[in-house]
A = this chain, B = another copy of it.
Amino acid sequence: MNQTAPLKDEHTVIHSTFTIERTYPQSPARVFHAFADKATVRRWRVEGDGFAIAEFSFDFRVGGGEVSRFSYGGGPEIRLDAQFQDIVPDQRIVFSYRMAIGQQAMSASLTTVELTPDDGGTRLTYTEQGAFFDGVDSAKGREEGTRGLLEALAVELQRSK
């Protein structure tokens, strides 16, 4: 996407890693399913009030990936391209993804989701190693957004059987 002339004059990269831990009362198998099943992923992670979804393709296997294109409140299109790097059923999901807004690259990240049994439920450890480009997006904003998504996951896990 960004192989043409740069849209910003300054090219900077901020590298940042954050880790979020939280627990869910549901089993690792249930939590894993919420990351693996296309319809479930779409519900808790892609859809939302004010979002228009232009595309959502999802192929959950190593070598497969995700493309999501969406906009918020009539704004520019945001595009996410993910690639699944490692999958251990009920235990680990590793994926890379890049994000762009319009023609502007925002970031590339490597995310590790680790699931471990915890007193009948699941301890989820979410580690994102990110590269943020040209001041378009911030590591702090990404961490806050991720905390919101993990809360949306809690709601999803309560809803589904």
Which A residues fall within an 8 A CB radius of B? Answer: 1-3, 6, 11, 13, 15, 17, 19, 61-63, 81, 83, 85-89, 91-92, 94, 96, 98, 105, 108-110, 112, 114, 127, 129-131, 133
Chain B residue with Cβ nearest A4? B89
Inter-chain contact A129/B86, CB cutoff 8 Å: no
Q: Which secondary structure dominates chain A's binding surface? A: strand
Inter-chain contact B85/A108, CB cutoff 8 Å: yes
Inter-chain contact B112/A110, CB cutoff 8 Å: no
Q: Give complex CA distance A130, B15 in Å.
A: 12
Given contacts A13-B127, A62-B98, A86-B98, 15 further A-B contacts (CB under 8 A): A6-B88, A11-B92, A11-B114, A17-B17, A17-B129, A62-B105, A83-B83, A86-B108, A86-B131, A94-B108, A96-B108, A108-B112, A109-B110, A112-B131, A129-B129
Chain B residue with Cβ nearest A127? B15
Q: Give complex CA distance A94, B3 in Å.
A: 12
- Most chain B beta-carbon contacts within 10 A, residue among A17, A81, A96, A112: A96
Taking the closest CB of chain B, its distance from the CB of A149, in whole angstroms, is 19
Residues of B within 8 A of A98 (CB): 62, 85-86, 94
Inter-chain contact B17/A112, CB cutoff 8 Å: no
Inter-chain contact B127/A86, CB cutoff 8 Å: no
Inter-chain contact A114/B13, CB cutoff 8 Å: yes
Taking the closest CB of chain B, its distance from the CB of A134, in whole angstroms, is 9
